[in-house]
Amino acid sequence: MARKHAVLSASSAARWIACPPSARLNAEKSDTPNEYAAQGTDAHTLCEYKLRKALGERVRDPIKNLASYDSEMEECAEAYCQFVMEQVEQFRAESKDTMVSVEQRVDFSAFVPDGFGTADTLIISGKKVCIVDYKHGKGIEVSANHNPQMMCYALGCIQMFDGLYDIDEVRMVIFQPRLANISEFILSKADLLAWAADTLVPAAKLAHAGEGEFCAGAHCQFCKIKATCRKRAEYNLELARYDFEMPPTLEDAEVEAVLAKADTLAAWVSDIKEYALQRAIQGKQWTDWKLVEGRSNRKYTDEAAVAKTVKEAGYEPYEQKLLGITAMTSLLGKSKFEELLGGFVIKPQGKPTLAPMSDKRPVMNTAAEDFGAASTL
């Protein structure tokens, strides 16, 4: 079932809290379908089915209607269902008076005008509530720590059920299996309500009225006007103050300042290029740029006919190639793959890359450090 989204939706709360005027501007733009959104929708549908079935509900298998369904999605949904059921059992062990709600609409309009959203799973027992949100994407690791979307869901949950359960603690969980990420954050009801009063409500009033200051940052990623936003352009063009000097002429602090914004700048440039291309395809005539045919490679018009012709000429048209690890895992299944081939798989050391200190990966030893350690032996 397609989800209806509010102007001030929980899923975009991080953006409109940081940049209130973006809410109305985004509401004026229609959603652009893409394969990642379609995958996410199908994955949520599959997760909902598996969880409802595990809870004993009579449900219809949706797989034949899921265009993006594959073995990876099956494994992810199964892992999500298993994880949630483990949480349910923990709650039930503490109290038989445990409520589980799947795809629960939550209304937080007491704090945000027309604010509502859909929580993937709510588990409530005693004075505690657990909110689990499934993320199918693997581009960015999502954290539950002070996550505005999850906190809006928590506010809606308190509004709906606090009278029945006297909730005083909220546990928020992001389950993101394709990145092996399970992020948890616990917040008291008092702290949640304080955040709502100090941060959420003031930002929501500005956003609903289309007022406030534009602000660029990481929250711009899913903004529909990010390509033409002047504030984002100003934010990224601050790099021009370095006059694009060669790195050796910059101080170390300046180099790190550029590194901190490099990915954001590259993403902005990519968005500008894509926007200009789409406008040109629609008929826009740019002054110094034109639409041309890109490079292409030759291809067969009929592969079956090519193979037949080559075989008749006495040659073998196909090469024999070992399946890659991903394809072989799909063929055998994850457990069988590990049973048969686990001993034949290694993970070579990755190529050195720079990452911010917040990255979870350990620091990689350099050749100089290895040489220094060896020289002390």
Chosen domain end from 176, 209, 242 = 209
| pLDDT per position as a tens digit, 225-271 | 999 999 998 888 876 666 566 667 778 888 888 888 888 888 888 89
Quick one: how far is CA 47 from the chain centroid? 16
Same domain flag for 23 and 155: yes
Same domain flag for 109 and 195: yes
In a domain, 292, yes or no: yes
SS3 for 132? strand
Task: Give the model's pLDDT for residue 243.
Answer: 55
Same domain flag for 20 and 147: yes
Q: Which range marks the domain in which residue 264 is found? A: 226-320
| pLDDT per position as a tens digit, 4-20 | 557 899 999 999 999 99
Task: Give the model's pLDDT for residue 218.
Answer: 87
140 to 40, 50, 115, 134: CA distances (angstroms): 14, 25, 25, 14
In a domain, 126, yes or no: yes
In a domain, 339, yes or no: no
pLDDT grade for 170, boundaries at 50, 70 and 90: very high
Same domain flag for 59 and 203: yes
Task: Give the model's pLDDT for residue 373.
Answer: 54
Task: Give the model's pLDDT for residue 245.
Answer: 63
Same domain flag for 179 and 272: no
> How high is the mean pLDDT of the chain?
89
pLDDT grade for 375, boundaries at 50, 70 and 90: low
Q: What is the percent of the chain with per-residue pLDDT over 90, rounded to a whole number?
A: 61
Q: What long-range pairs does 99-107 form, CB within 8 A, spacing at least 24?
A: 99/123, 99/124, 99/125, 99/161, 99/165, 100/55, 102/48, 102/51, 102/52, 102/55, 103/48, 104/157, 106/10, 106/152, 106/153, 106/155, 106/156, 106/157, 106/159, 106/160, 107/156, 107/159, 107/160
Same domain flag for 143 and 50: yes
- CA angle, corner 103, sides to 101 and 106, nearest 5? 85
Same domain flag for 136 and 272: no
Tally of domains in the chain: 2
Q: How many C-beta atoms lie closer than 10 Å to residue 48's C-beta?
A: 21
**Confidence check: pLDDT of 322 > 70:** yes
In a domain, 132, yes or no: yes
Same domain flag for 201 and 243: no
In a domain, 194, yes or no: yes
Task: Give the model's pLDDT for residue 333.
Answer: 87
In a domain, 205, yes or no: yes
Same domain flag for 176 and 291: no
Chosen domain end from 294, 320, 346 = 320
Task: Give the model's pLDDT for residue 221.
Answer: 87
d(CA 1, CA 98): 26
| Between 127 and 2, the higher pLDDT residue | 127
Closest CA to 48 of 87, 89, 101, 10: 101
**Confidence check: pLDDT of 368 > 60:** no
d(CA 17, CA 14): 5
In a domain, 355, yes or no: no
Task: Give the model's pLDDT for residue 81.
Answer: 95
| pLDDT per position as a tens digit, 87-98 | 999 999 988 889
Q: What is the percent of the chain with per-residue pLDDT over 70, rounded to a whole number?
A: 93
Task: Give the model's pLDDT for residue 134.
Answer: 97
pTM equals 0.74
| pLDDT per position as a tens digit, 101-117 | 999 999 999 999 999 99
Same domain flag for 159 and 292: no
In a domain, 107, yes or no: yes
Find the mean pLDDT for residues 358-364: 84
Same domain flag for 233 and 164: no
Same domain flag for 236 and 315: yes
Token pair in block for residue 340: 């048969």
343 to 292, 325, 348: CA distances (angstroms): 51, 13, 14
Task: Give the model's pLDDT for residue 2.
Answer: 44
Quick one: how far is CA 259 from the chain centroid? 23
Chosen domain end from 150, 175, 209 = 209
Outline where the chain has alpha helix (H): 13-18, 22-27, 35-54, 71-94, 148-165, 189-195, 201-209, 230-237, 252-281, 303-312, 325-332, 334-341, 367-375
| pLDDT per position as a tens digit, 118-151 | 999 999 998 999 999 999 999 889 999 999 999 9
